[in-house]
Amino acid sequence: MQYRTLGRTGVQVSSLVLGAMNFGAIGRTTQDEATAIVDAALEAGINLIDTADRYSGGESEEMVGKAIAGRRDDIVLATKANMPMDDERNHRGSSRRWLVTALDDSLRRLGVDHVDLYQIHRWDPATGDEETLSALTDLQRAGKIRYFGSSTFPAYRIVQAQWAARDHHLSRYVTEQPSYSILQRGAETHVLPVTEQYGLGVLVWSPLASGWLSGAVREGREIATHRSAVLPERFDTSVPSNRARLDAVEQLAKVADEAGLTLIQLALGFVTAHPAVTSAIIGPRTPDHLRSQLAAADTVLSADVLDAVDSIVAPGVDLAAHEKFDTPPALLDPSLRRR
């Protein structure tokens, strides 16, 4: 396992992060399976676990808490808040009112008195940076969080938050968690240059592109991933963007074979090769999934292999741009771009 410094915090974290989104109802992963996955991950050298209050309505946090009981001090523990937890309109967002409550709820579910990294799951257009950063700074000073970060923020919002922290003498976001994979390289255009500029740690999610790069999606083979059952439209190969992804996967599989790698090793080795990336978040549903992903823990891709990847999917290109989660609201809602 490789280890990197998380931004400028001085904290050493593994190049692979155990993501717990699939623990519970979302991935149908039981407590015994979750504990076995955590055990195997820690044994392999993973020391950062990432979850969120939103995952299975808090069930993921509860399962992580039970799985790490008795060994909390050996783990860099991260969770997130901001996404809706129920139909109540104020049980979401990045206001002080909600974040204080949401963190206490997360600590209770996790069975801990603090988290190492508390992340804002999405940018909240309704809440000012000063409001959110002041609340997070107070929670940090209270000892309930050690650091805080952002997740899937557009590049300009990352910059704005850094300026707000400076202008109002508040603590700043020290990490960003963007979506990044061989098939979705848009983060290279704006987000990753900004995180490098400000010295943020980067924990990338969906490095296997929701299963497209797991090896389970191939030409002439029935697509039967967990994601394809939940979001079939993302795997319908009659859709042009999905056809483009499948064509790219076939070419990437040949590159992996010639390099003596699995497609998973190629995919994870690619994202962790970027100098702006600290770690890649993997989200196994079963111990077998974890083992296949751990095989990439020490993968280092040669320049020839990285060049071959660039020739298949060009730097900065998203093959499914419509699936991005950091699109400015005005591009999605016509009322926000018209007087």
Show which residues are catalytic.
55
Q: Which 3 state secondary structure label does DSSP give 276?
A: coil
User: C-alpha distances in angstroms, 213 versus 69, 188, 210, 218?
Assistant: 33, 19, 8, 9
State the Rg of the chain over Cα. Answer: 19
Q: Is the Cβ–Cβ distance between 158 and 191 less than 8 Å?
A: yes
Query: 58 phi and psi, to 5 degrees?
Result: 100, -10
Helix (H) or strand (E) holding 307: helix 303-312
The one-letter code for the residue type at 91 is: H
Q: Is the Cβ–Cβ distance between 313 and 250 less than 8 Å?
A: no
Each as own residue / partner, the long-range contacts of residues 31-34 (CB below 8 Å, 24 or more positions apart, any chain) are 31/63, 31/66, 31/67, 33/285, 33/286, 33/287, 34/63, 34/64, 34/66, 34/67
Q: Kindly give the pairing relationship between strand 12-14 and strand 3-5.
A: antiparallel
Structure tokens at 238: 């009659």
If we measure between CA atoms, which residue out of 165, 168, 184, 159 comes closest to residue 176? 159
Query: 5 phi and psi, to 5 degrees?
Result: -80, 130
Q: Taking each helix axis as running N to C, give the angle between helix 263-273 and helix 287-294, from 0 to 180 degrees, rounded to the nearest 10.
A: 60
